[in-house]
């Protein structure tokens, strides 16, 4: 199937999705200009006419050439120091330490396949799949630097992936100071930025703000993508809502420091740059070496925010998560963390195992505290073998006990970390990240191992490998509980010091790749103090993530709602926990907690020994229900209907791909007096299908539900929730 169309006469390339087009023109043989991105327009007749006019103070690219001024053009990769005063996409110094400014001699190349990216996760190709890709090669004759912009359109989801590679074909070293993965200039159409700022236990709040002259940027310098800003974001036209209008979505397949920039200038141009954060980055490129940036994913939808989400959700399932998990149902799990914290022994664990096994739980996860001497968060990270006082028979024997009870066995680890009080620290006192001569900065009483060093990564691969083969471990929760600071690279020369943060991520990806490929059957769940590294880079290796440490249902409704804008529910770990809730102290009904957790990968994280008999029975029924509808919830289409950020209510639904059955969830966050009668309009149903809900009973046509709405019964009280299962025929 052709996706890249090259008109050599007009020097124009268009990338065609099934419903979108992206077009680029090579102007003046050295300026790759952005021409179009939006609804599909098929063949492009525009010769790329560019109307310029004489301007005071404008800088010309060539002396006396008044045909254009670089600052007013729309580019595919914003130049630096050329007279284009917008935020540049790249910043590079040649062997003399002079700026490499461009424009450069440029050519288009079309390839039959998507290029390989060195050491980084990237959108997956199926075996033997051919998918055309475009390479725009910009060559700097002076330094020998070749900058290649790569584009591949995945037509089924209208997802365009982009990245950039830098190849030093000269004879002296080149220094890359900034290298965005993508850059793009588009004309402002009253755009609003939707992004997901947050905090630990309050991740991914939905924020929508108009662009104003000047720049808006967000990112992370914490060493991980962070709780504070997720890399995903979107530009929306002002009248775009969940169901209608244009949405331009962006995400980055990367887990480290990143920066996303939006700049609105005097010409109503919006420049968008997205990539590794330049504040904590530099790369020295020796002759013949190549540097690849992470891949960015761009999605256009004319079906509103839900439309864009649907495309991202499918793309993540099809092209990001490990293929073995694409269709694999996720087990209902029990996790002992909030039930016991560090305070357990084998007797307690066995009591918990006995208690949960007949409720229908399928996976028992042993969280933090199981390894040598780990009775608080002050010790033992690095010593990954069972504490014999707590587990006299070791992991294997406890795992067998779990297995005998009919469940899978899962384990928590935090391999990237080291405690000062640990055997590993005694053995390798110089393996943690430090800044010699300056105080050590601890977070949660722990230090980070220097994964920019090959021997440290090799050691971790070996350690995790031995651990996983030491017992029948079928699930791993891979945690990471502090940000990275004061990172001096003891093993690197002076000129490479700023490479460490990116090298850390490359090391981490190598470890994750080796381990997950060796254990393809093991279900890995990423975690970073909850949702601090919930990004496409981790999802490439681990098909799900612990969404947040906050298990309070009201908070979770917001967190999961925000997360769902870019990530499908099947990537979200979601647990029912005790009340009063441990993070916020709120008491919500068991039903609301379950409806929230069922909207992701359901788990239970509470001391079930303390639950009343009726509550245990309710839990048993919840699990039965979830298992019955798990395929629909985990693999169906997720649609947001009402936002908990705009109202006191939230509603969403999971719809079978063929539009037949669906499950509807509704929540009221706080009790209200004189509550008006409400109806919620549903979406994406088949208009003339009859949809029946048997328990009430209710019956409507798809059209009625989509245009008239689903009337909601009056529900009294605080923290109300409703769940309806409709069957269509
Ligand atoms: C942070 C995680 O997010 C929690 O779920 C738990 O695993 C703790 N770490 C254990 O230390």
CATH number at residue 677: 2.60.40.1180
525 within 8 A of 573, measured Cβ to Cβ: yes
| CA separation for the pair 562, 252 (Å, rounded) | 17
Q: How far is CA 70 from CA 50, 58, 233, 467, 701, in A?
A: 12, 8, 28, 57, 56
Q: Is 529 in the pocket of ligand 1 (CB under 6 A)?
A: yes
**Joined tokens for residue 726:** 């409709």
**Joined tokens for residue 638:** 């997720």
What pLDDT is attached to residue 63?
Answer: 63
508 within 8 A of 458, measured Cβ to Cβ: no
Q: Is 549 in the pocket of ligand 1 (CB under 6 A)?
A: yes
Q: Where are the beta strands (DSSP E) in 60-173?
A: 90-93, 105-111, 133-139, 145-154, 159-168
**Domain with 230 in it: what CATH number?**
2.70.98.60
Q: Are residues 412 and 347 in the same domain?
A: yes
Domain span at residue 703? 642-728
661-670: average pLDDT: 96
Q: Is 480 in the pocket of ligand 1 (CB under 6 A)?
A: no
Show Cβ contacts of residue 224 under 8 Å, excluding neighbours closer than 6 positions. Answer: 255, 256, 480, 483, 484, 528, 532, 533
Show Cβ contacts of residue 462 under 8 Å, excluding neighbours closer than 6 positions. Answer: none
| CA separation for the pair 89, 272 (Å, rounded) | 9
Show Cβ contacts of residue 173 under 8 Å, excluding neighbours closer than 6 positions. Answer: 95, 284, 285, 286, 287, 495
Q: Is 367 in the pocket of ligand 1 (CB under 6 A)?
A: yes
Q: Are residues 118 and 254 in the same domain?
A: yes
**Residue 277 alpha carbon to ligand 1 centre in Å:** 27
Please name which of 661, 654, 590, 588 lies closest in space to residue 622, comparing C-alpha atoms: 590
The size of the chain, in residues, is: 729
In the predicted model, is pLDDT for residue 507 greater than 90?
Answer: yes
What pLDDT is attached to residue 69?
Answer: 79
Mean pLDDT of the chain: 96
In the predicted model, is pLDDT for residue 49 greater than 80?
Answer: no
Q: Is 479 in the pocket of ligand 1 (CB under 6 A)?
A: yes
What pLDDT is attached to residue 694?
Answer: 86
Q: How far is CA 320 from CA 236, 513, 540, 574, 722, in A?
A: 24, 13, 5, 21, 33
Reported as type and span, the H/E element at residue 26 is strand 20-27
Q: Nearest residue CA, atom 2 of ligand 1?
A: 529
Q: Is 525 in the pocket of ligand 1 (CB under 6 A)?
A: no
Q: Is 545 in the pocket of ligand 1 (CB under 6 A)?
A: no
**Residue 530 alpha carbon to ligand 1 centre in Å:** 7
| H helix count then E strand count, the chain | 12, 38
In the predicted model, is pLDDT for residue 61 greater than 80?
Answer: no
| CA separation for the pair 708, 410 (Å, rounded) | 47
Q: What is the 3-state secondary structure (H, E, C) of 117-147?
A: CCCCCCCCCCCCCCCCEEEEEEECCCCCEEE
**Residue 204 alpha carbon to ligand 1 centre in Å:** 18
Kindly report, residue by residue over 449-462, the tens digit of the pLDDT.
Answer: 999 999 999 999 99
Q: How confident is the model at residue 528 (pLDDT cuts 50, 70, 90)?
A: very high
HSE-CB for 271 with a 13 A CA cutoff? 30
DSSP for 378-415 reads TB-TT--SB-TTT-TTHHHHHHHHHHHTT-EEEEEE-T
Q: Is 605 in the pocket of ligand 1 (CB under 6 A)?
A: no
| CA separation for the pair 697, 325 (Å, rounded) | 36
**Joined tokens for residue 550:** 């906050």
HSE-CB for 17 with a 13 A CA cutoff? 26
Mark which of 301, 320, 339 sits at the end of a domain. 320
- Comparing 377 with 72, the larger pLDDT belongs to 377
The ligand 1 atom nearest the CA atom of 546: 3
In the predicted model, is pLDDT for residue 71 greater than 90?
Answer: no
Kindly report, residue by residue over 361-396, the tens digit of the pLDDT.
Answer: 999 999 999 999 999 999 999 999 999 999 999 999
Q: What residues are paired with 722 via a beta bridge?
A: 666
Residue whose CB lies within 8 A of the most ligand 1 atoms, among 481, 482, 525, for a mutation test: 481
* Residue 643, number of CB atoms within 10 A of its CB: 18
Active-site annotation, residues = 479, 549
What pLDDT is attached to residue 716?
Answer: 84
In the predicted model, is pLDDT for residue 66 greater than 70?
Answer: no
Q: Are residues 268 and 368 in the same domain?
A: no
Q: Are residues 315 and 331 in the same domain?
A: no
Q: Nearest residue CA, atom 9 of ligand 1?
A: 529
In the predicted model, is pLDDT for residue 171 greater than 90?
Answer: yes
Q: Is 77 in the pocket of ligand 1 (CB under 6 A)?
A: no
- Comparing 715 with 620, the larger pLDDT belongs to 620
Q: Are residues 648 and 617 in the same domain?
A: no
652 within 8 A of 688, measured Cβ to Cβ: no
Q: Nearest residue CA, atom 1 of ligand 1?
A: 529
Q: Is 338 in the pocket of ligand 1 (CB under 6 A)?
A: no
Q: Are residues 621 and 653 in the same domain?
A: no
Q: Are residues 718 and 595 in the same domain?
A: no
Q: Are residues 605 and 688 in the same domain?
A: no
Q: What is the C-alpha R_g of the chain?
A: 27
Q: How confident is the model at residue 64 (pLDDT cuts 50, 70, 90)?
A: low
The ligand 1 atom nearest the CA atom of 477: 7
| Number of domains composing the chain | 3
**Residue 556 alpha carbon to ligand 1 centre in Å:** 16
566 within 8 A of 232, measured Cβ to Cβ: yes
352 within 8 A of 360, measured Cβ to Cβ: no
Q: How confident is the model at residue 281 (pLDDT cuts 50, 70, 90)?
A: very high
Q: Are residues 542 and 630 in the same domain?
A: yes
463 within 8 A of 415, measured Cβ to Cβ: yes
Q: Are residues 264 and 334 in the same domain?
A: no
Q: Is 550 in the pocket of ligand 1 (CB under 6 A)?
A: no
| CA separation for the pair 506, 527 (Å, rounded) | 18
Q: Is 530 in the pocket of ligand 1 (CB under 6 A)?
A: yes
Q: Are residues 107 and 49 in the same domain?
A: yes
3-state secondary structure of 149: strand
| CA separation for the pair 24, 291 (Å, rounded) | 24
Please name which of 190, 179, 174 lies closest in space to residue 281, comparing C-alpha atoms: 179
569-577: average pLDDT: 98
Reported as type and span, the H/E element at residue 365 is strand 363-366
- Global confidence as pTM: 0.98
DSSP summary character for residue 708:
I
**Residue 413 alpha carbon to ligand 1 centre in Å:** 10
**Residue 529 alpha carbon to ligand 1 centre in Å:** 6
In the predicted model, is pLDDT for residue 294 greater than 80?
Answer: yes
333-352: average pLDDT: 98
Question: How much of the chain exceeds pLDDT 90, in percent?
Answer: 91
| CA separation for the pair 511, 519 (Å, rounded) | 12
| CA separation for the pair 713, 695 (Å, rounded) | 13
Reported as type and span, the H/E element at residue 455 is helix 454-470
559-585: average pLDDT: 98
Q: Is 412 in the pocket of ligand 1 (CB under 6 A)?
A: yes
DSSP summary character for residue 686:
-
| CA separation for the pair 661, 728 (Å, rounded) | 5
Q: How confident is the model at residue 65 (pLDDT cuts 50, 70, 90)?
A: low
Alpha-carbon dihedral angle through residues 461, 464, 466, 471, given to the nearest 10 degrees: -160
440-446: average pLDDT: 93
Residue whose CB lies within 8 A of the most ligand 1 atoms, among 334, 336, 337, for a mutation test: 337
Mark which of 635, 659, 677 sits at the end of a domain. 635
**Residue 546 alpha carbon to ligand 1 centre in Å:** 9
**Residue 414 alpha carbon to ligand 1 centre in Å:** 9
Residue whose CB lies within 8 A of the most ligand 1 atoms, among 529, 552, 583, for a mutation test: 529
681-698: average pLDDT: 95
**Residue 587 alpha carbon to ligand 1 centre in Å:** 22
Kindly report, residue by residue over 202-239, the tens digit of the pLDDT.
Answer: 999 999 999 999 999 999 999 999 999 999 999 999 99
**Domain with 361 in it: what CATH number?**
3.20.20.70
In the predicted model, is pLDDT for residue 60 greater than 80?
Answer: no
Residue whose CB lies within 8 A of the most ligand 1 atoms, among 227, 379, 546, 552, for a mutation test: 546
| CA separation for the pair 50, 73 (Å, rounded) | 9
Question: How much of the chain exceeds pLDDT 70, in percent?
Answer: 99
In the predicted model, is pLDDT for residue 144 greater than 80?
Answer: yes
DSSP summary character for residue 521:
T
102-119: average pLDDT: 95
| CA separation for the pair 680, 701 (Å, rounded) | 14
Mark which of 279, 294, 320 sits at the end of a domain. 320
Q: Are residues 237 and 336 in the same domain?
A: no
**Token match 């590294």: residue?**
533
């Amino acid at each position: 199937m052709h996706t890249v169309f090259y008109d050599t006469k007009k020097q124009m390339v268009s990338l065609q999705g099934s419903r979108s087009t992206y077009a680029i023109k090579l102007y003046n043989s050295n300026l790759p200009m952005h021409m179009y991105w939006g609804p599909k327009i098929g063949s492009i007749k525009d010769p790329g006419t560019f109307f310029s006019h004489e301007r005071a103070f404008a800088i010309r690219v060539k002396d006396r050439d008044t045909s254009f001024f670089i600052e007013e053009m729309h580019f595919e990769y914003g130049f630096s120091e050329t007279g284009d005063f917008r935020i540049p996409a790249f910043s590079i110094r040649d062997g003399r330490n002079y700026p490499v400014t461009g424009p450069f001699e440029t050519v288009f190349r079309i390839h039959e396949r998507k290029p390989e990216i060195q050491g980084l996760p990237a959108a997956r190709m199926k075996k033997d799949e051919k998918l055309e890709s475009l390479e725009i090669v910009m060559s700097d004759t002076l330094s020998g630097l070749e900058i290649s912009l790569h584009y591949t359109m995945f037509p089924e989801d209208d997802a365009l992936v982009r990245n950039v590679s830098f190849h030093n074909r000269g004879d002296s070293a080149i220094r890359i100071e900034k290298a965005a993965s993508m850059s793009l200039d588009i004309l402002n159409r009253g755009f609003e930025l939707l992004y997901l700022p947050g905090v630990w236990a309050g991740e991914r709040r939905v924020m929508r703000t108009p662009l104003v002259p000047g720049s808006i940027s967000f990112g992370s310098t914490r060493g991980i993508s962070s709780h504070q800003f997720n890399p995903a974001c979107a530009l929306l036209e002002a009248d775009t809502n969940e169901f209608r209008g244009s949405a331009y979505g962006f995400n980055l397949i990367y887990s480290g420091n990143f920066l996303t920039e939006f700049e609105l200038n005097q010409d109503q141009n919006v420049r968008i740059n997205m990539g590794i954060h330049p504040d904590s980055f530099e790369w020295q490129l020796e002759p013949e070496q190549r540097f690849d940036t992470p891949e960015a994913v761009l999605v256009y939808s004319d079906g509103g925010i839900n439309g864009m989400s649907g495309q991202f959700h499918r793309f993540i399932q099809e092209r990001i998560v490990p293929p073995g998990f694409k269709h694999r149902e996720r087990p209902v799990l029990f996790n002992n963390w909030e039930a016991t914290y560090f305070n357990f022994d084998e007797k307690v664990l066995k009591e918990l195992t006995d208690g949960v096994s007949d409720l229908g739980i399928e996976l028992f996860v042993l969280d933090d505290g199981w390894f040598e001497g780990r009775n608080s968060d002050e010790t033992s990270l690095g010593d990954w073998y069972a504490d014999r006082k707590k587990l006299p028979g070791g992991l294997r024997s406890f795992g067998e006990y779990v297995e005998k009870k009919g469940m899978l066995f899962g384990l928590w680890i935090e391999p990237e970390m080291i405690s000062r009080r640990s055997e590993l620290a005694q053995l390798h006192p110089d393996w943690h990240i430090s800044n010699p001569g300056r105080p050590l900065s601890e977070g949660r009483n722990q230090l980070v191992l220097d994964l920019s060093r090959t021997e440290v990564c090799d050691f971790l691969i070996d350690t995790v490998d031995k651990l996983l083969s030491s017992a029948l471990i079928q699930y791993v929760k891979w945690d990471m509980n502090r940000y990275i600071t004061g990172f001096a690279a003891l093993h690197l020369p002076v000129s490479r010091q700023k490479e460490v943060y990116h090298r850390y991520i490359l090391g981490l990806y190598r470890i994750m790749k080796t381990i997950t490929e060796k254990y393809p059957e093991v279900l890995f769940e990423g975690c970073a103090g909850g949702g601090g590294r919930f990004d496409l880079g981790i999802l490439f290796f681990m098909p799900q993530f612990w969404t947040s440490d906050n298990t309070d249902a009201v908070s979770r409704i917001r967190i999961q709602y925000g997360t769902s804008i870019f990530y499908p529910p099947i990537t979200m770990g979601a647990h029912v926990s005790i009340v009063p809730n441990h993070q916020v102290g709120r008491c919500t009904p068991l039903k609301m907690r379950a409806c929230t957790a069922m909207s992701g990968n359901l788990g239970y994280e509470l001391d079930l020994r303390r639950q009343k008999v009726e509550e245990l029975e309710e839990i048993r029924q919840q699990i039965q229900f979830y298992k019955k509808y798990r395929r629909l919830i985990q693999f169906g289409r997720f649609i947001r209907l009402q936002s908990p950020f705009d109202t006191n209510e939230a509603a969403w639904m999971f719809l079978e791909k063929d539009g037949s059955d669906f499950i509807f969830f509704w929540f009221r966050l706080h009790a209200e007096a004189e509550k008006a009668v409400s109806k919620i309009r549903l979406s994406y149903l088949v208009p003339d299908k009859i949809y029946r809900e048997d328990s009430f009973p209710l019956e409507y046509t798809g059209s009625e539900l989509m245009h008239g709405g689903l009337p909601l019964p009056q529900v009294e009280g605080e923290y109300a929730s409703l769940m309806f299962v409709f069957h269509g025929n």
